[in-house]
Chains A and B, each alone.
Chain A
Amino acid sequence: MTRQEAKIRVKSVSKAFKKQGQMLTVLDEVDLDVAPEEFVAIVGPSGCGKSTLLNCIAGFETPTSGGIEIDGEPLSGPSPKRVFVFQETGIFPWLSVNENIGFGLRHKSPGERAEIVERTIKLVGLEGFERALPSELSGGMKQRVEFARALAVDSEVLYLDEPFGALDAFTRLEMRREVWRISRATKKTCLLVTHDVEEAVELADRIAVMTRRPARIRKILDNPLPRPRDPDLAEFRALKDEIFEILGVERRV
């Protein structure tokens, strides 16, 4: 990938936290390029630093060393152009579904805002719950509101930190397809962190496998499988097994 081509470029990013007076190195010289409109998944052992990496890329955390570039420019901080979908939903419990989805649209006129909110609500299938409060929704519906809030601002990039983690198996499958459909329809670059290897293989164009802490990217696998992808297919399983093997080696270290 040439320099101009990368939407997101992570250049030997390291991150250490101070913990009880000691430095804990979480990320160790991580390199990763993501092309425009590409869907990249990051998998790795629990606690290895996946969320930390995504937080650095989103601008919520500052790397200890190394750099992050967006469209060839150094990252200057969080932006509505690149929206983060949180591991457990980050929607505001004091706002209704409507108000949550419109949260990022405050600079728009009320008419325009209402129109976008209505359209997004249809997109994620929350019709009839416009005025409901998050406390009146199921876990899956809350996650939909979180997605809707991210989609409403029409960003270029979505950062997804285990967005399906809190969902039951059935809703998870359903939401996975939705996210894929919507992200393709709106031509978004997506960076997904997950511990679910099957999820990564189903969704991603490329899969980055991280090592245990201090985490580096161990291998980046291409995923050429045609879509829609069937988890029962032999090629699907083969890719899954390959990832498990890389992860498994790491576990035995």
Chain B
Amino acid sequence: MVNKIRRLFRPVLGVALFILIWHLLTLGNKRTDIPGPWLTLQGLFELFRQGILVKNIVASVFRVAWGFLLATLIGIPLGVGLGRFPELNQLFNPPVQLLRPISPIAWLPIATLLFGPVRWFEPSDVAAIFLIFLSSFFTITTATASAIATVDQKFLRSASNFGVKGVALVTDVLLPASLPQILTGLRLALGISWVVVVAAEMLGVQSGLGYQVNDARNNLRYDLVVAAMVLIGLIGLVLDTMMRALEERALRRRGILRR
């Protein structure tokens, strides 16, 4: 218990210092200036009371979930293929590496051209999901391919010694052996997705946290802008913490301890 308090002491102090500096820098500001912590908190409550906030959170999370899920479902099998077969890697790796550094936002015009009119459920649209897909897909594929390609030779030899090949080799040896690295890739990809969804929502959709930021700015309500920003940060933190917990579990199982 005492240990726990001690461990939490510095992080809490850090956040408190951050809020204090924020408060001091924005002393005397009104809603139409950059707001301080107190105005922001009030803004948060106001957003909740209006009821649109939950709808916007759901819209953003929904887009990220679908895009990320699709990227995982396609990226991991593709990564296994690339990691396993050098010929395939020589063929597909150059285009993957070429497309990877392109910001998903640059894809927006093409995404709108391709999927603009396509609607899927109420709060979402396919173009935004496509952007999220792009922002996770290359990271997941690359991380999986490099993990699979570097699986310890001893594990491969053990598998072939016991007659394990084909699908069983992938599910029982290659994927478990690569799991920690793949999870790291997934965590990074989810982080990028969350950054990208907000940006994508500022450019041409009518829901989501990015839209919320834009909408508040158009009304010159900077307290609501910063309130939405705080929320974006908190949700991103939650997503990252969840992925990190999965990763730590996989590492702990293998006897690898961080720090």
Contacts and interface: CB of A to CB of B under 8 A. Distances in A.
Interface residues of A, number: 25
A96 to B, nearest CB: 10
A150 to B, nearest CB: 9
Interface of A: 58, 60, 77-80, 82-84, 86, 88, 90-95, 103-104, 106, 133-136, 153
Interface string B204-220: 00000000000000000
Given A78-B157, A94-B177, A94-B179, A106 B164 contact: yes
B164 A84 contact: no
B253 A153 contact: no
B176 A92 contact: yes
B176 A134 contact: no
25 contacts: A58-B161, A77-B160, A78-B157, A78-B161, A80-B163, A83-B161, A83-B162, A84-B161, A86-B157, A90-B154, A90-B158, A91-B158, A92-B158, A92-B177, A93-B254, A94-B176, A95-B176, A103-B162, A104-B163, A106-B164, A106-B168, A133-B253, A135-B254, A136-B255, A153-B162
Contacts of B253: 93-94, 133, 135
Given A94-B176, A133-B253, A136-B255, A104 B162 contact: yes
B173 interface: yes
Given A60-B157, A93-B255, A133-B255, 19 more contacts: A78-B160, A80-B161, A82-B161, A84-B161, A86-B157, A86-B158, A88-B154, A90-B157, A90-B158, A92-B173, A92-B177, A93-B253, A94-B250, A103-B162, A103-B164, A104-B162, A133-B254, A135-B253, A135-B254
A90 B155 contact: yes
Contacts of B255: 93, 133-136
A86 B160 CA distance: 13
A131 to B, nearest CB: 12
A45 B176 CA distance: 37
Nearest to A99: B172
A65 B197 CA distance: 59
Contacts of B176: 92, 94-95
B254 A94 contact: yes
Interface of B: 154-155, 157-158, 160-164, 168, 173, 176-177, 179, 250, 253-256
Nearest to B173: A92
Residue with the highest number of chain A CB atoms closer than 10 Å, among B154, B161, B179, B253: B161
A163 to B, nearest CB: 13
Contacts of B168: 106
Contacts of B160: 60, 77-78
A83 B176 CA distance: 22
Residue with the highest number of chain B CB atoms closer than 10 Å, among A91, A103, A134: A103
Nearest to B175: A94
A135 B255 CA distance: 5
Nearest to A135: B255
A89 B102 CA distance: 43
Contacts of B163: 79-80, 104
A92 B161 contact: no
Contacts of A78: 157, 160-161
A86 B255 CA distance: 20
B43 to A, nearest CB: 47
A92 B161 CA distance: 14
A77 B159 CA distance: 13
Contacts of A83: 161-162
A134 B177 CA distance: 14
Nearest to B161: A78
Nearest to B154: A90
Nearest to B256: A135
A78 B177 CA distance: 21
Nearest to B257: A135
A88 to B, nearest CB: 8
Residue with the highest number of chain A CB atoms closer than 10 Å, among B158, B160, B177: B158
A79 B177 CA distance: 22
A82 B157 CA distance: 12
Contacts of A103: 158, 162, 164
Contacts of A136: 255
Contacts of A92: 155, 158, 173, 176-177
Contacts of A153: 162
Contacts of A91: 158
Nearest to B176: A94
